[in-house]
Structure 1
Amino acid sequence: MTLSDPLLASKAPIDDADVQPIDHLLLRGDPERPALAGRSGAQDYAELEQALGRLAGWLAGFGLAPGARVASWVAKGPVAALMPLAAPRAGLVHVPINPLLKHAQVAHILADSGAALLIGTASRLSTLAPGDVPAGCHLHREDDAAAGMSGGAALPPSDAARDALAAILYTSGSTGRPKGVMLSHANLWLGAVSVAHYLELAPEDRTLCVLPFSFDYGQNQLLSTWYAGGCACPLDYLTPRDVVKAVDRWDITTLAGVPPLWVQLTELDWPTEIATKLRRLTNSGGALTRPLVARLRSLFPQADLYPMYGLTEAFRSTYLSPALVDSHPDSMGSAIPFAEILVVRPDGTLADDEEPGELVHAGPLVAQGYWQDAARTAERFKPAPSASRHGGTAVWSGDTVRRDADGLLYFVGRDDAMIKSAGNRISPTEIEEAAVAVPGVAEAVALGVRDERLGQAVLLLLRAADPDVVAAVAAHLKAELPNFMQPRETLVLAQFPRNPNGKIDRVALAKEYAS
């Protein structure tokens, strides 16, 4: 990657020639340089490109219709790393599923996306209950996909259009079940270009991929590293100490994380010879506190720190330059390349400096909307404000921010009730629906409460006559929901406060129990 790359001028017009199909990404790397390394071995760019073509050929062999959705629920290895490129090369749409999800969430994603194929580890597939897999969705083990990568005919690079749908990433909001965000080839390509540029990634860099590939942040660990010609090292870690070992084993220069992971990592003893291998740390999924920034600075003095803000509907919106972290530790920074970020009043006009307003994101990183959900798409994806230079459709985030006189942004508050815990976006409604399925529970409210390690933890309030119902609810939630959705505490109340419309007064409950 060089500064002469035509895509690195974020304000320049973007032509079709500038954006390539996302499956062309590996063609940018030096064929003899390492592209993927991990417990399953190492592959250079030439070898990985060949494996990609074979995996795409294996997928194409099922004879699925163009644009059919292919879901993956696999361990973080070569199959998981190549699926974001292999499915689009085969003319299909990739639907990655968070490995931490359980059968009910997986069933929803399969049904909602209309997946024709699910590739999963044998252990995960065995957890699916009757009725979880829609008719017409075929199951295949990850081992079968891995075998397909090692032999068979390879598909050549695709000629997909920049606006062709390449992936659907499922994300939770404050209400309802997860919704699928539609991402085009251009969305993925430009996201990789943008991040590789502002992180100043180079072919010599090695990125430890700790975050799940089902997150846009996690998937971009791969894509931006490959755009720059570097090496990606996927890691399914069990403990934070595994991260320390991996940094040492693979000479990692780049590590992406969320605040709870940084809290855990800063509690460990980092030998100087390992800590100094890291050259950059990137954070999203929640703000870094001043004490945490200080600890990271102390432990990793040679690493640049990049605080970032994003939302799946537009991938990434802002980043703070490492040079400004010490002087402006509370700032979200400013727009990343290809993003136009506006602070807008309720009437759609631009807010003044230091005046709170809604963050609105315009530009080519904006996704195509929510999969088969016109109503929710219309709520979030709306015409850009009249002051926008880019115009078109913008994402209205629902987050309140302010801009200072230097153009730096600061987070003020979130308008919805979504819970952010350990980098996961949790829908309170999903927890509440699971709780009220237990006999004896009349109503349930899930709240996010401050937690030093997680950012937020889940507090579950139940309206029930029998306080002993807590044990039954805990058992049911443990069986039905992933670990990151489990309540830290569950309380039983005789009554819930009501607003004038007769609805549960969540604001009153939050003030009393979550403050």
Structure 2
Amino acid sequence: MSINCIRTLIEDANISHPQKVALVYGNEKLTYGELFTKVNQIALYLSELDLPKGSRIGIYSNKGIDQVIAILATLSTNYVLVPLTKFLKPEQVEYIISDCDIKCIITDRVKIESIEEIKFNGKIISYETTNKDLPSFEEIYKYYNKPYVCNINGHDNAIITYSFGLGGQPKGIVISHRNLIDSARVVSSYLQLKEDDVISGLLYFNLDYGLNQIFCSLYKRATLALHRFVLPTDFFNHLINDKVSVISLMPINITEMFDEEEYKLPNPSLLENIRIIASSGGNVTAKMIKDIEKYFVKAKFYSMHGLTEAFRSTYLDPSQLKIRPDSIGKAIPDVELYVIDENGNECPPRVVGELIHRGGYIYKGYWNAPKETKERFKSIQILKNVINLEGQLTDEIVVQTGDYVYKDEEGYFYFVSRHDDMIKTRGYRVNPYEIESVVKRELKDIEKCAVFSIENEEIEEEIVLVYSAKSELSSSEILFELKKHLASYMIPSKIIYKKSLPLVPSDKNKINKEELKKELISK
């Protein structure tokens, strides 16, 4: 058995902490000993399906203790886990099933009808016993009691995750068992997680960030308290009743958390047990920080930046939050980050370039997508102008992130835009973020704005600014302010007012620029 796999953590926790509570969900509790038993039962059943090694197992269900068991059981076999968030539409599930050839789906009573709608031909396992003659966890727990032994290799494929974003069909990113254990190890280290922590299982288990909640809990023998965010009141009750001490969330969760009348929010003294709050997946605003500090008076707040192709790149130490709130921080342990220009030279401080991720936590690549893999996963030769490649050792792989950032004089990084967002106009490259930041700073009546481009044969691309506000502003007023702070080639040629801006379905923190662009082009 490899020491670099989640299965090792499950076995070790059963030996060292069999009576410790591993999982909590409402009134349900499971100790590490009970978790080990149930994981083994499901893993034994899965192994007896006798599917080829590396076969993909989909998990398509609501959050719950059985879902965690299904995840850990799959990772205790030589199969590959494919998480399918409950928010996916049947056609999206069908796409993933086809793309990675899922052989078996583990689901709940609610999602069985969705699976039947797409006419899935593989094996189906339900958590609950149903009238559809399907095998269920309830039955497996009754009858599968033989010892289970497995041997996992750290370099083998463990998980394929898919994220539906703005355009085109998603590509699955392949994550190894070693990647999972490394991510649990590093997060447990820089967040200083403890054995007596209760970690909130707020995030969904469809991507690496959410799954990491499970793996960090196992790594530290902590307790994972599951929660489905419906109402802010429910969430605060979860924090108080489950005695949560660590929360990993996204900025949208912070917004939702405080989307209540102030008199409905709990007294800060009831939240003093929270010692760590970590956020990733979007920008953290000044209001979010203010709300966190007001209600979580003893919590340290960590802002983090991750990649699709590597687990995580940076985190901002809580001591720097007020000093440089716009920074994404510095590299996490075992990672080196470089900012390079189009010629492969390192950018000086304050000059925008592309972020290159070197070192740990790099995933294996995109599933059945050699072109996309080649675009992102590069030979270290890309850094030949920056580092000394003695001995011609150039087989090392780095990630060319597609993120445009800059670094300040003290080595802190600042996100500017994605490569796909860059605008080419009149022979210049323009970062939409530069225009958006001026709007945010100088035009206080504008609530939200999005800058993007549409094709224009005469100047390559035409810059468009769409904004929302309580009422429409004069375009001449906006242009007057922008011209004071931006070069002439950066001034938008179209300024459009909308009462509200569409958001990305998978990330309510981001404005859906593709939808805005389609609206504009179709007019």
TM range (shorter): 0.7 to 0.9
Tell me the CA shift for residue 284 of structure 1. 0.6
1:265 to 1:331, Cα distance in 2 relative to 1, 3 A: same
Tell me the CA shift for residue 487 of structure 1. 8.1
Q: Which amino acid aligns with 2:105?
A: L
Tell me the CA shift for residue 410 of structure 1. 0.7
Give the aligned partner of residue 189 of structure 1. Answer: 181
Q: Does 1:276 align with 2:261?
A: no
Please give the root-mean-square deviation of Cα atoms over the aligned residues, in Å.
3.2
Matches within 5 A, 1:313-392: 313-384=309-380, 385-386=383-384, 387=386, 392=396
Give the aligned partner of residue 153 of structure 1. Answer: 145
Give the aligned partner of residue 496 of structure 1. Answer: 521
Q: Tell me the distance in 2 between the aligned counterparts of 1:232 and 1:77.
A: 11
Give the aligned partner of residue 450 of structure 2. Answer: none
Say which SS state the counterpart of residue 91 (structure 2) adopts: helix
Q: Tell me the distance in 2 between the aligned counterparts of 1:97 and 1:108.
A: 11
Contact kept, 8 Å, 2:406 with 2:416, in 1: the verdict is: yes
Say which SS state the counterpart of residue 71 (structure 2) adopts: helix
Contact kept, 8 Å, 1:52 with 1:149, in 2: the verdict is: no
Say which SS state the counterpart of residue 126 (structure 1) adopts: helix
Say which SS state the counterpart of residue 225 (structure 1) adopts: helix
Contact kept, 8 Å, 2:105 with 2:125, in 1: the verdict is: yes
Give the aligned partner of residue 223 of structure 1. Answer: 215
Query: Which one of 400, 403, 407 corresponds to residue 399 of structure 1?
Result: 403
1:66 to 1:324, Cα distance in 2 relative to 1, 3 A: same
1:162 to 1:393, Cα distance in 2 relative to 1, 3 A: same
Sequence identity (%):
27
Give the aligned partner of residue 106 of structure 1. Answer: 93
1:292 to 1:159, Cα distance in 2 relative to 1, 3 A: same
TM-score (structure 2 length as normaliser): 0.75
Q: Tell me the distance in 2 between the aligned counterparts of 1:133 and 1:28.
A: 40
Contact kept, 8 Å, 2:7 with 2:152, in 1: the verdict is: no
Q: Which has the higher contact order (CA 8 A, sep 6+)?
A: 1
Q: Tell me the distance in 1 between the aligned counterparts of 2:373 and 2:146.
A: 37
Give the aligned partner of residue 236 of structure 1. Answer: 228
Give the aligned partner of residue 138 of structure 1. Answer: 123
Q: Tell me the distance in 1 between the aligned counterparts of 2:75 and 2:420.
A: 34
Tell me the CA shift for residue 139 of structure 1. 2.1
Tell me the CA shift for residue 277 of structure 1. 1.8
1:276 to 1:494, Cα distance in 2 relative to 1, 3 A: closer
The unaligned stretches of length 5 or more in structure 2 are 129-135, 389-393, 423-463, 470-504
Tell me the CA shift for residue 345 of structure 1. 1.6
TM-score (structure 1 length as normaliser): 0.76
1:489 to 1:64, Cα distance in 2 relative to 1, 3 A: closer
Query: Which one of 40, 45, 67 corresponds to residue 58 of structure 1?
Result: 45
Q: Which amino acid aligns with 2:123?
A: H
1:60 to 1:176, Cα distance in 2 relative to 1, 3 A: same
Q: Tell me the distance in 2 between the aligned counterparts of 1:356 and 1:483.
A: 25
Moved more, 396-405 or 339-348: 339-348
Q: Which amino acid aligns with 1:393?
A: I
Contact kept, 8 Å, 1:51 with 1:150, in 2: the verdict is: no
The unaligned stretches of length 5 or more in structure 1 are 1-15, 419-446, 453-480, 498-508, 510-515
Q: Tell me the distance in 1 between the aligned counterparts of 2:360 and 2:518.
A: 48
Say which SS state the counterpart of residue 349 (structure 1) adopts: coil
Give the aligned partner of residue 420 of structure 2. Answer: 416
Rg comparison, structure with higher value: 2
Tell me the CA shift for residue 274 of structure 1. 2.4
Q: Which amino acid aligns with 1:272?
A: P
Q: Across the two proteins, how many residue pairs are aligned to each other?
A: 426
